[in-house]
Amino acid sequence: GLASTQVGRKEAVVVIDISDERNDPLILVNPEVVSGENKALGQEGCLSVPEYYADVERYTSVVVSALDRDGNPITIESDEFLAIVMQHEIDHLSGNLFIDYLSPLKQKMAMKKVK
Domain span including residue 24: 2-114
pLDDT in tens, 17-43: 999 999 999 999 999 999 999 999 999
By C-alpha distance, which of 93, 89, 78 is closest to 36?
Answer: 78
How would residue 115 be classed by pLDDT, with cut points 50, 70 and 90? Answer: low
Phi-psi region of 95 (alpha: psi -120 to 50; beta: other; left: phi over 0): left
Q: What is the largest CA-CA distance in the chain?
A: 43
Domain count, the chain: 1
Sheet containing 49-67, strands listed edge to edge, beginning at the edge strand earlier in sequence:
2-3, 13-16, 26-46, 49-67, 73-78
Q: Which amino acid is at 66?
A: A
Catalytic residue among 44, 51, 80, 89: 89
Global confidence as pTM: 0.92
pLDDT in tens, 59-99: 999 999 999 999 999 999 999 899 999 999 999 999 999 99
Q: What is the CATH number of the domain that holds 107?
A: 3.90.45.10
Residue 51 has pLDDT above 80, yes or no: yes
> What's the pLDDT at 109?
86
Residue 111 has pLDDT above 90, yes or no: no
63, HSE (Cβ side, Cα atoms, 13 Å):
4
Catalytic, 77? Answer no
